[in-house]
Amino acid sequence: MLGNQLTFRNNSISAQVYTMLKKQILEGNLQPGERLIVLEIAGRFQISQAPVREALERLKQEGLIVGQPNKGSVVSNITSKEIRDIFVLREIIEGFAVRESMPHLDKDDFRYLETLLDEMDEAAHQDDMLKILERDMEFHGFFYKRCNNHAILELWNHMRSKVMRFMAISNRYYSTQKLAAYHRPLIEVLKSGDSAEAERQFIDHMKSYKVIHLD
């Protein structure tokens, strides 16, 4: 089920377990409802329970797994209501993030964003759903990083896991072929410098996401 091996390079064992489990969950290899049993995981990687417990604790905090005391953990389910809530929140926040970051954007930034879209197209060509998603997250995350508000960046990191996971689970892959194309106009309006219009377009973009993924 989890084929990978731990590499034991720089990080602590618990960090490696955490990273590996998170990856499996985000990519949908570990399905909602699937149980995560401490001794079993520890046995598979030839490690003791402690680091596994620590990794699970972190995942629990992030909401990727849930568990009642003395009853173990399962990969959490993610309802479309939850995702809808997140998209509503994004509508509110992302406009702000774009507006705030715009004044600081330069040519390199635009080039970077365009690179992301190119890679998205490339990934679409290879039907690499995960890569498409990652680039999409990176594109939007860019503004959260640049809006100079740590609370908002933190919020984004939290939302991102859930959004990625939902997209990876829900098999609504249609339209991801055209995802890059949907984004290109956004770069244009950013270049124009009209921040009110940019904010409006990002919000519309957000709304169309909701339609694509939730209706």
The DSSP H or E segment spanning 22 is helix 13-26
Residue 72 binds: one of its own copies, DNA, none (C-beta under 5 to 8 A by kind): DNA
Binding residue for DNA, selected from 44, 53, 207, 213, defined by CB under 7 A = 53
CA nearest neighbour of 99 among 199, 190, 197 = 199
Binding residue for DNA, selected from 4, 31, 66, 72, defined by CB under 7 A = 72
Binding residue for DNA, selected from 7, 9, 71, 107, defined by CB under 7 A = 71
Specify the 3-state DSSP secondary structure of 73.
strand
- Residue 65 phi, psi (nearest 5): -130, 160
Is 61 a binding residue for DNA by CB under 7 A? The answer is no
Residue 33 to residues 64, 65, 92: CA-CA distances in angstroms?
A: 11, 9, 31
Is 49 a binding residue for DNA by CB under 7 A? The answer is yes
135 Cβ contact list (under 8 Å, min separation 6) = 116, 117, 119, 120, 123
Q: Which is nearer to DNA, 71 or 81 (CB)?
A: 71
Binding residue for DNA, selected from 2, 4, 5, 40, defined by CB under 7 A = 40
Query: Least distance from C-beta 69 to DNA, angstroms?
Result: 4
Q: How far apart are CA 190 and CA 105, in angstroms?
A: 9
Binding residue for its own copies, selected from 58, 135, 146, 160, defined by CB under 8 A = 58
Is 24 a binding residue for DNA by CB under 7 A? The answer is no
Query: Least distance from C-beta 123 to its own copies, angstroms?
Result: 27
The radius of gyration computed from the CA coordinates of the chain, to the nearest angstrom, equals 19
Q: How far apart are CA 184 and CA 100, in angstroms?
A: 20
Site for DNA in 77-136 (CB under 7 A): none
Q: Which is nearer to DNA, 56 or 189 (CB)?
A: 56
CA nearest neighbour of 104 among 203, 190, 199, 185 = 190
Q: How far apart are CA 111 and CA 59, in angstroms?
A: 35
Site for its own copies in 116-155 (CB under 8 A): 149-152, 154-155
Specify the 3-state DSSP secondary structure of 66.
strand
* Contact footprint for its own copies (CB under 8 A): 11-12, 15, 50, 53-54, 57-58, 61-63, 69, 81-82, 85-86, 88-89, 92-93, 96, 149-152, 154-155, 158-159
* Contact footprint for DNA (CB under 7 A): 12-14, 35-40, 47-51, 53-54, 67, 69-73
